[in-house]
Amino acid sequence: MNTRLVLALVLSVLMILPATGVSAQTEFEEEAEQAFIDATNETRAEQGLAPLANNLLLREVARGWTEELVASGQLAHNPSYSQQYEGEWRRMGENVGYTSSAQDLLGAVERLHQAFVDSPGHFANITGEYNQMAVGVAFDDDGALWVTLNFLDGPTPSETPEEPVEEEPVEEPTPEPTPEPEPEPDFETQRPQEDDVERTHFIRG
């Protein structure tokens, strides 16, 4: 039976993403997700590009959208993936696709990845100016493999500045008591010198 490959592409530079709840991933789905990451980084290495780190926060967005695709049975892009991501970013992109024949798991990943590579728009995401990615894989009741790949350029979650820690106040030493000033002279008993008049007036004023 011929394998059916369906692909779609979206690039986002001016948008942002809240994470969607997803069901627990199976061992096969997690294996497929890692296989897509490995394949993506192998392709980037062939182009002389740095590998993409797996962003676990973004992965929840990718998995959530793939679950939506399986539920609807329709291939489409997530219209709000940039709003659903709770971290910081400068640039984001998305590839989505599915293959109806996934009995050979790694073979299905390889075929679908190659289809992405052969598509100029999808290849632009794979080799784009990103430093992180995330993959969400799910299988429908017929055994078809659905996948969402999100790409991101921005600080990794571990690079996000932590909230400042409030330091305990340092106890200041008790100041020594200030000695009381000596009584000022009475103008009637001590006449100020001429060059002391202004200063004396200021003190007493």
DSSP string, 162-197: PPPPPPPPPPPPPPPPPPPPPPPPPTTTSPPPGGGH
Residue 6 has pLDDT above 60, yes or no: no
Mean pLDDT, residues 153-178:
64
* pLDDT recorded at residue 103: 82
First to last CA, the chain: 105
- Average of per-residue pLDDT values in the chain: 77
Residues 6 or more apart in contact with residue 19 via CB below 8 angstroms: 57, 60, 61, 64, 84, 85, 86
In the predicted model, is pLDDT for residue 3 greater than 60?
A: no
Q: Is the pLDDT of residue 150 over 80?
A: yes
Q: Can you give the pLDDT at residue 156?
A: 86
Pick the closest to residue 58 from 166, 133, 115, 140 (CA basis). Answer: 133
R_g over Cα of the chain: 34
Residue 4 has pLDDT above 60, yes or no: no
pLDDT attached to residue 7: 52
For residues 51 and 44, is the Cβ–Cβ distance under 8 A? yes
Tell me whether strands 132-139 and 53-54 are parallel, antiparallel or unpaired: parallel
What is the Cβ-side half-sphere exposure of residue 28, based on CA atoms within 13 angstroms? 15
Mean pLDDT, residues 26-44 taken together: 95
pLDDT digits (tens, 9 = 90+) for 60-119: 999 999 999 999 999 999 999 999 999 999 999 999 999 988 788 999 999 999 999 999
Q: Assign 44 a pLDDT band (cuts: 50, 70, 90).
A: very high
Overall average pLDDT of the 162-189 stretch:
54
Report the predicted TM-score, pTM, of the whole model to 2 decimal places: 0.68
Please tell me the distance from the alpha carbon of residue 195 to that of residue 166, in angstroms, as a whole number.
54
192 vs 57, higher pLDDT: 57
**Can you tell me the mean pLDDT for 33-37?**
97
- Judged against a pLDDT cut of 60, whether residue 183 lies above it is answered with no
**Which pLDDT does position 101 carry in this prediction?**
80
Would you say 53 and 156 are in contact if contact means Cβ atoms under 8 Å apart? Answer: yes
152-162 pLDDT per residue, tens: 999 988 754 44
